[in-house]
Amino acid sequence: MINHSDTSQTVYDIRQELYWDAGSLDTELNRVYDICTGCRLCFNLCPSFPVLFDALDAQGDALRQSAIDRGEFEAAEIKSDYLDLPEGEQQAQASAEATFIGSPERLTHAEKWEVVDLCYQCKLCDSICPYTPEKEHEFQLDFPRLMLRSQAVRTKQRGVKMNDRFLANTDAAGKMGSLMAPVSNWGNNLAPVRFIMEKFLGISRHRVLPRFHRLTFAKWFRRHRKTRALADNPAGKVVIFATCYTNANDPGLGKTAVEILEHNNIEVQLARQRCCGAPYLSPGDFGGFGKQALPNVSELAGWVDKGYQIVVTGPPTCSMTLRQDYSYLDTQGQAALEADIAKVAASTLDISQYLMQLHKGGHLRTDFMHEIGEINYHLPCHLKAQRSGYKSRDLLNLIPGTKVNMIDKCSGMDGGWGMKAEFFDASMAVAGKLVAQLQKKPADHTCSDCSLAGMQIRQASGGEIDPLHPVTLLHRAYGLADAS
């Protein structure tokens, strides 16, 4: 019998030696799997939970069939409707049925780790789980962090896989892809190239890859700064954390965000930056994560000290990493570094959050020139995980004549996970449910704060749905797109 209240192996601090102990991890996996199987609130959130529940239910079915084969029970006696039984027999039948329950301790190694591999850190389970530390429950259950711990322990044992190394090095890929664009985009569409990428890097040949742009956002911003003076008496000062994706794959989004901010008399600067480090967390490569993240902490903390707000223009995964996941960094007791990490976390906002903050303070212009119409707004998981509310929805609702339909369903992309050949089909299956929901509500536009989710929706819908970022629609409503 697993003691659900025994949290002696519940460790989420990478500096503790027990965190890396494989035996401790296995004990904790058994405890959490057992709790989750008895609850099942998360049965439809991601592929991990159905796989877990099916494996344990299969154990129960096998135990039941074995009891029938031994003649201990008649098949008809099992699973009776307890309410129809004479009083006194209900307890006996329920007790018999209780013996046919699977145990996480009897899961095979492959079954146990399939649950881990299918977790792509959407973090949706964390918000609805009744047993989390945030809800002050004695079980102290944090499923996403446990899955990350599992990946980290395994990675420490076997090393980082080649495809994880490639997918994590987004800065190098972005630099090379942009430098060689449009040749790199052409090559990424060639069947022989994609076959080689799948064979040696594990990236699905069926995955539509993001396009590279020769004029990156950083290059555009440097040119822009030469022609556009800083605002006099600005209503606010921001430093843009553009993200590697915006810089190389979606520079138009960064340009749009800057033009909107300057339209609202905001001083805009661009931080020296590298990828936030999130791709290193997926396989639990904390060493790589630290090397990637620490320069960002130093740079961004310096801007905060000068009175700037950090505004993230790319996927919400990046703002979540700055606000939440930098707490994973091993500071080795350096108080100044810990203070900088906390400072960056407290000063980071997604672009729509910042614009709504301006609105709340009475500084956001609402002199919109165009109506946008009806919008299907996809709420990304990693915005939801930040518990920041529905700021993009509220922002769009400021535009006259706008109706926003909230679509709260995961895209199943999560960057590198959805790129891998081994998870491509599972990724697209999740996306199919989102696309089906979007198609039920015809609208003038579909939008999402996550560029990667937009890419996933576009592919899963066969190009029928082409999502935009909410600030792109705001840019059009202001009439700034007319000037561009």
Q: Which mean pLDDT values do the consecutive 10-residue runs of the chain (484 residues) have?
A: 93 94 96 93 90 91 77 57 50 54 90 95 91 93 96 95 91 94 95 95 94 97 89 91 95 97 96 94 93 96 97 94 93 92 97 97 95 96 91 96 94 91 94 95 95 96 96 96 72
For each of the domains in the chain, give its residue range(s) and CATH number, in order of start: 17-158 (no CATH), 366-483 (3.40.50)
CA distance 345 to 339: 10
Listing DSSP states for 377-393 in one string gives: EE--HHHHTTT---HHH
Q: How many CB atoms lie within 10 A of CB 66?
A: 11
CA distance 131 to 36: 10
Q: Which position has the token pair 């993009």?
A: 392
Determine whether 108 is exposed, middle or buried from the number of CB atoms within 10 Å of its CB (0-12, 13-18, 19+): exposed
Q: What is the predicted pLDDT for the residue at 86?
A: 54
Q: What is the predicted pLDDT for the residue at 212?
A: 97
Q: What is the predicted pLDDT for the residue at 257?
A: 97
Contacts of 251 (CB under 8 A, 6+ apart): 213, 215, 216, 217, 220
Q: What is the predicted pLDDT for the residue at 388?
A: 87
Residue 420, classed as helix, strand or coil, is: strand
Q: What share of the chain is helix, strand, coil (3-state, %, to 5)?
A: 55, 5, 35
